[in-house]
Amino acid sequence: MRYENPLYMAEAAATTDLLSGGRLELGVSRGSPEAALDGQAQFGYALDEGQTWADVTRERGRRFLSAVRGEGIATPDLTSGWAHSSEPLRIEPHSPGLADRIWWGSGSVGSVAGAAADGYNMLSSTLLLQDDGRPFHVQQADQIARYREAFAAAGHHDGVTSLGATGAPRTAVTRSAFVIQDAQDELYFGRERSSRDSSGRLDGAAARSGPTYAGSAEEVAEKLAADSAVQAADWVLFANPNQLGAEYNAKLFAGWAQVWRLLGWDR
C-alpha cells in the first residue's frame, strides 16, 4: 500500500472480481522491505513530519476497504444534472462480497492486531518481522490466536465486523513444500530436505523465516501435520516456483495432491 492510491486500487479490485465471477482473494499489506531508497517518492508519495509508512499504509488500507465495501466516498453535485441522490457516491464498479475476501499481510503481532481491528482476514507468509527465539511455526500459531482474540475484542461478532463487512474472519499461512518424486525434483529441491528456520535482522529488527518442507509425500505430510500454524489456520497457501514452467508446475501440484490426501485435506 506504500505505492497505491486506495481508490484506484478499489476500482481495479472490483473490476477484477466481477470479471472473474466473484473469485478474487486479494492480499494487501504495508509492503515488504525493498532495495529502493526513494521508491515511494518516485511514485509521488512522501511522509509528513512524524508519519511512518506503517501509519500511512494502514490508513490507505482502511480507505481502500471502505471503498470496496461500497461506502460513500464523494459528495454529489446536485447542480450537475448527473447526480440523482444526495447520498455520498461510492466507487464504481462495486462487487458485492469482495470485502469479505480481502486479506491483510501480517508480519508481526502488532500488524495482526491492526488487521483484526479493521476487519480484514489475516494472511501470514513464510517471514515474520519479529523473533522471540521460539520456532517459526509456534510464533505464527501465536499470531493466529492473537488475531482471533483481537477480532473479538474489536467488537466483531456473529460474522459481522464493526465496519460493515459480512462473513466470519479467516486466517491463512503460506508454506514452501515440495514432494520429491524423481531425479529432477532431487536436483531442484533435494538440499531442502534438511531445511530449518533461519533468523536475522530486517528493517532494523529481529526477523525469522520458516523452513522449506521437502521429501516424499509421506515426509512432507508428516512435517505439515507437526506444524502448529498449519494446524491452526483456516487456509494453507503453497508457493510454487512458476519460473520452472507450466508442465513442471502441473507435476508439482500432483505431488501436493498426494500430501493433501494423506492429511485428509481433499475431503
**Following DSSP, what letter does each residue of 68-134 receive, concatenated?**
HTT---B---TTSSS---SSPBPPSS--TTGGGGEEEE--SHHHHHHHHHHT-EEEE-SEES---SS
- Distance, CA of 216 to CA of 5 (rounded, Å): 45
pLDDT of the residue at 157: 54
Q: Judge whether residue 155 has pLDDT over 90.
A: no
Smallest CA-to-CA distance from 140 within 246, 228, 241 is with 228
pLDDT of the residue at 156: 67
Q: Judge whether residue 228 has pLDDT over 90.
A: yes
Q: What is the pLDDT of residues 74-126, one digit of tens each?
A: 999 988 888 888 899 999 999 999 999 999 999 888 889 989 999 999 999 99
Q: What is the pTM of this model?
A: 0.86
Q: Judge whether residue 212 has pLDDT over 70.
A: yes
pLDDT of the residue at 53: 85
- Alpha helical stretches, state H, the chain: 6-19, 39-42, 53-68, 109-118, 136-153, 183-189, 217-225, 228-232, 246-263
- Identity of the residue numbered 55: D
Q: What is the pLDDT of residues 157-174, one digit of tens each?
A: 544 444 444 457 899 999
| Residue 198 CA from chain centroid, whole number | 21
Q: Judge whether residue 259 has pLDDT over 90.
A: yes
